[in-house]
Copies of this chain bind each other. A is one copy, B any other.
Amino acid sequence: MRKKSKSQKVYDYIEELVISGEIKPGERLPSEAKLGEILEVSRVSVRAGIEKLSAIGLVSKKKGGGTYVNKPKNDNYLSVFTPTLLHNTDYLEMMEIRRALDSLSVQLCAKNITESGIRKLGEIVDSMENIENEYDFFELDKKFHLLISKYSKNRFLHNIHLIIWDVLQKTLRTKYNTVTRQDHSTDRVEEHQDIYQAIVHKDEDLARIYTVRHLERIIDTFNCEYNEAYYEAKKEEKKKH
């Protein structure tokens, strides 16, 4: 593996601070000089790293004031793709978008997929059957849906999906309990098999229907857990009185 550049070191360090929640949206970063001390790099490299983070909208700089972690509502619209946003309601909004985009990509995929693509997809579905840990399943799930979007032959669509899954993955690390528990359903393997079969038979409509059903089931499950958690929290509060 190639050596990381100094500016990348800065970038990763700050991104980690934000993802882990050590610095929350609206809060200020250490000054450039301080970051330079901490990471043992020059201010030039610190600035280069921060410049990138600013370009993708994770932070905003204020001359003389400091550098701040952006709040989700920030106008810089590339901030859609920063990994800090996925709280509970954000997750639902994201899944709403997936419902729209996945149903498009699976439809196009069923039309455009090649024989070798079908083979690859089949392998993924097969390996889903004997999976025990959640992390591995997530990987397969990601591969499955990204492969579908790839064979949609719509480059934009695929790229948006890449971003969405990147955000999902990064968010997962910090919200593992909340977001992943929802998918313990025993149906989940079967759902993927259904989608796969529809693609094999080039049945665009059926593939779309199965995909929508799949995603809506995930959303429903999440909603239930979310409400449960909500009531739990309320119960805790009552105890205090």
- A72-93: which have CB < 8 Å to B? 72-73, 77-81, 85, 90, 93
Residue contact B77 to A78, C-beta cutoff 8 Å = no
Whether A174 is near chain B, meaning CB under 8 Å from some CB there, is no
- A40-55: which have CB < 8 Å to B? 44, 47-48, 51-55
Copies in the complex: 2
Whether A159 is near chain B, meaning CB under 8 Å from some CB there, is yes
Residue contact B94 to A156, C-beta cutoff 8 Å = yes
Nearest chain B CB to A27's CB is how many angstroms away?
20
A contacts with B, residue count (CB < 8 A): 38
Residue contact A156 to B93, C-beta cutoff 8 Å = yes
Stretch at the interface among A99-107, A136-144, A178-186, A214-222: A99-107
Complex CA gap A55/B154 in Å reads 23
Q: Which residues of A are interface residues toward B (Cβ below 8 A)?
A: 7, 44, 47-48, 51-56, 72-73, 77-81, 85, 90, 93-94, 96-97, 99-101, 103-104, 108, 154-157, 159-160, 162-163, 166
- 10 nearest interchain CB pairs? A55-B55, A80-B159, A52-B55, A51-B51, A100-B104, A77-B162, A77-B159, A93-B154, A100-B100, A93-B156
